[in-house]
Structure 1
């Protein structure tokens, strides 16, 4: 059994107990509010005692009785700051056997490794199960879930996920020959998923692929859950039309898990039970309810490497719930005004190449940061800032790998690799660094 699957099975008793607690309090606004504040107070108390970067704050300042007031005295933290002082942001007493190392790059072009623990994993899974139980009217266990991501395996793959209520999860790559793609679509139809989850771009890709091959879509699932990218109105319409099912979008990131999830009534509810979300101005001060600013998040559950006032770079507006939503939730409501996108590069011949396909190749090599730039319709430039361990032969191998991948999609495309400094990456005008810039679209 895979180590992660074994760990999930061993944690199941704790996950199920936490799931029952969350399910019982989803409609109890007072209980959820009290839980959230007590968790914030406990996290901040832990941080000033056990985390080096925050220890001086606890030594020289008396903590206010109001945990929200105490939180406001903590500085904002960016991904780069956590990287630069990684050890200083970790719990002095962390237990390796209960911790996980997670590697992600998101869409920032900045590879990032962080630590999380079993406590966070348990509560992430438990709250998700409680919310899914409400949507499925009690049918949360033993579902069939289709995952549409940029698959890292070939063909069709199935497994049972304890973290998702012993769901049977199926995933099929959308790459390969026409015969292989037809076989994957046939396998998905046979799988008959109860729900679908994936990146918006790849949900659209699946719908388009089925149409191009002249095949029938799988039976309509209860819902399609999109995450990790900015969901455009056009993409939502295409997915709903193709799957004949409603779309439920979730704002999420690897560092936090699900942050705010859309209910059946179109409201994006914050996961208040395990996260503290703020929206701040350029100076880091909280803005008024409903006003746009940068989304900043404190993870209430991860103590091994506390994320306190973590800058997402995404823009949004936050407002308290005005009474229970029609779905019953009473948590804060988040509106995204600018988020992350996962682009596809349109090539001269009309084919499209996922940016994620190229960035995963780059991340095989020791680089500090990277960015893909579409200079012309037939020219893609890879900007790379290497780490000291990156050798000349690594850069050559990276360039050849990227070049070969581009030419497989369109032989007329030229790819160039250029090493740059930290100030040479291009900006899109948003707060967030991005891994792809299309100069032909300006």
Structure 2
């Protein structure tokens, strides 16, 4: 039974047509790819100008002559009732309706026409096959959150059952729960793991402490796919050593689908089939390959809701050897709003703070996970999960590194926690600034 295909067909998503279209796009020669993308970009703009009042007002269209004149769309622009943003040719019953996680601080409800949604899934299916994973047959160990209300919980578990996914609830990541996870792997033929990076890293560290290699007790495992949260190189090494399988980076967003997927050569191949991805500077100018800027995405097939030059809130760069057909995401730096503002006016990426602290804390071998919160211009709170308190020597090392790499005369508070607070979706936001 082709469970993946059946689950989409039951919801009237035309997956067979989407798979055929994807293959046709992939067969377009490189020298004809610019013409394909230009045609799709023009088509999707024309469609929304004709059928979407919200976008027509947003664009203030007076004749489309240059892609550079198309306005940048942000999440804040979309925080209004969905009915005001839907194209006139669709409604809430004829389109797929979803909701972003809100990890960026700007959650909103979005829509996709069913063909566009099916095309997104065809893209995921295609990439997973790079590693021998067949979504119709391969069993997934899913490290995600789950709705806690009765109806939402039942609905999600039903979807998991049909889609060959078995949920590992990451809201409880205690050692007792890790033992339960391990028991399930011993008694199931899982083919791959998929889930939030922080939860999988924590499970990998538990395996390391128990001197267990997961593939040895679950030989059917092929790969581990991490998504939604940044994967650090040291964490990747821990996962691969503890699980005995390759770790693959997946970069996507619910509102646009798959953005990039890592191949066997450790390249993040950007989805150029149904998305058009640009890197822009602070003045909305397209910048050359190799330079860092804002990631802006156009969904080329979403007719139900405009996602045109949509600033997803991340920063990164495309490799210099990218092409229109095969863009390569060289760097994914993080959220544009994850920055620390210091008293002297200095602005640093929050991940700078995290990198420094992470290296020192992990050297202790006792810290399971931690988060950093900026509560004032000169004050940062480090919450961590550990069996014991950080000692004075460890705290001094952290303070010393922060003074060198972030800024001097900063106040740092440390607090040991039993468990760290996650978002309602189960994500762990590693750095948060409360400074507006």
Q: TM-score, normalised by structure 2?
A: 0.69
1:78 is the counterpart of 2:74:
yes
Residues 142 and 167, structure 1, Cα contact 8 Å, conserved in 2 = no
Residues 317 and 336, structure 1, Cα contact 8 Å, conserved in 2 = yes
Q: Quick one: structure 1 residues 193 and 35, their matched pair in 2 at CA, closer, same or farther if it must change by over 3 Å?
A: farther
1:41 matched to which residue of 2?
42
User: Whole-Å Cα distance in 2 between the matches of residues 216 and 266 of structure 1?
Assistant: 23
- Residue aligned with 1:259, SS: strand
Q: Quick one: structure 1 residues 60 and 100, their matched pair in 2 at CA, closer, same or farther if it must change by over 3 Å?
A: closer
User: Whole-Å Cα distance in 2 between the matches of residues 299 and 60 of structure 1?
Assistant: 19
2:56 matched to which residue of 1?
55
1:92 is the counterpart of 2:101:
no
Residues 109 and 435, structure 1, Cα contact 8 Å, conserved in 2 = no
- Residue aligned with 1:96, SS: coil
- Cα deviation 1:106-136 (Å, max 9, x = unaligned): 4222332222231222111112212322432
Q: Quick one: structure 1 residues 338 and 128, their matched pair in 2 at CA, closer, same or farther if it must change by over 3 Å?
A: same
Larger CA deviation: 292-301 vs 332-341:
332-341
What is the 5 A alignment of 1:262-411?
A: 262-319=262-319, 330-340=325-335, 376=381, 409=418
The alpha-carbon deviation at position 184 of structure 1 amounts to 2.8
Contiguous gaps of at least 5 residues in structure 2 = 339-350, 385-414, 422-428
Q: Quick one: structure 1 residues 353 and 160, their matched pair in 2 at CA, closer, same or farther if it must change by over 3 Å?
A: same
- Residue aligned with 1:210, SS: helix
Q: Quick one: structure 1 residues 372 and 122, their matched pair in 2 at CA, closer, same or farther if it must change by over 3 Å?
A: farther
User: Whole-Å Cα distance in 2 between the matches of residues 140 and 241 of structure 1?
Assistant: 25
1:205 matched to which residue of 2?
202
The alpha-carbon deviation at position 330 of structure 1 amounts to 4.5
The alpha-carbon deviation at position 212 of structure 1 amounts to 4.1
User: Whole-Å Cα distance in 2 between the matches of residues 333 and 378 of structure 1?
Assistant: 35
The alpha-carbon deviation at position 178 of structure 1 amounts to 5.2
Q: Quick one: structure 1 residues 17 and 92, their matched pair in 2 at CA, closer, same or farther if it must change by over 3 Å?
A: closer
1:232 matched to which residue of 2?
232
2:253 matched to which residue of 1?
253
Q: Quick one: structure 1 residues 354 and 168, their matched pair in 2 at CA, closer, same or farther if it must change by over 3 Å?
A: farther
User: Whole-Å Cα distance in 2 between the matches of residues 12 and 216 of structure 1?
Assistant: 41
Residues 274 and 299, structure 2, Cα contact 8 Å, conserved in 1 = yes
Residues 11 and 122, structure 1, Cα contact 8 Å, conserved in 2 = no
RMSD over aligned CA atoms reads 4.1
User: Whole-Å Cα distance in 2 between the matches of residues 60 and 189 of structure 1?
Assistant: 59
Q: Quick one: structure 1 residues 5 and 206, their matched pair in 2 at CA, closer, same or farther if it must change by over 3 Å?
A: farther
User: Whole-Å Cα distance in 1 between the matches of residues 203 and 318 of structure 2?
Assistant: 33
- The alignment of Structure 1 onto Structure 2 pairs a total of residues equal to 357
Q: TM-score, normalised by structure 1?
A: 0.68
1:195 is the counterpart of 2:192:
yes
2:131 to 127, 135, 140: 135
Residues 197 and 231, structure 2, Cα contact 8 Å, conserved in 1 = yes
2:391 matched to which residue of 1?
none
- Cα deviation 1:26-52 (Å, max 9, x = unaligned): 354346655433322221111111112
- Residue aligned with 1:133, SS: helix
The alpha-carbon deviation at position 320 of structure 1 amounts to 7.2
Residues 293 and 317, structure 2, Cα contact 8 Å, conserved in 1 = yes
1:182 is the counterpart of 2:179:
yes
Residues 5 and 161, structure 1, Cα contact 8 Å, conserved in 2 = no
Residues 105 and 111, structure 1, Cα contact 8 Å, conserved in 2 = yes
Residues 270 and 327, structure 2, Cα contact 8 Å, conserved in 1 = yes
User: Whole-Å Cα distance in 2 between the matches of residues 274 and 298 of structure 1?
Assistant: 9
Larger CA deviation: 182-191 vs 307-316:
182-191
- Residue aligned with 2:22, SS: helix
The alpha-carbon deviation at position 300 of structure 1 amounts to 1.4
Contiguous gaps of at least 5 residues in structure 1 = 324-328, 356-369, 380-405, 416-433
- Residue aligned with 2:93, SS: helix
2:17 matched to which residue of 1?
17
Q: Quick one: structure 1 residues 249 and 135, their matched pair in 2 at CA, closer, same or farther if it must change by over 3 Å?
A: same
Larger CA deviation: 53-62 vs 308-317:
53-62
2:120 matched to which residue of 1?
124
User: Whole-Å Cα distance in 1 between the matches of residues 122 and 91 of structure 2?
Assistant: 22
Residues 18 and 122, structure 1, Cα contact 8 Å, conserved in 2 = yes
User: Whole-Å Cα distance in 1 between the matches of residues 48 and 315 of structure 2?
Assistant: 27
- Residue aligned with 1:41, SS: helix
- Residue aligned with 1:97, SS: coil
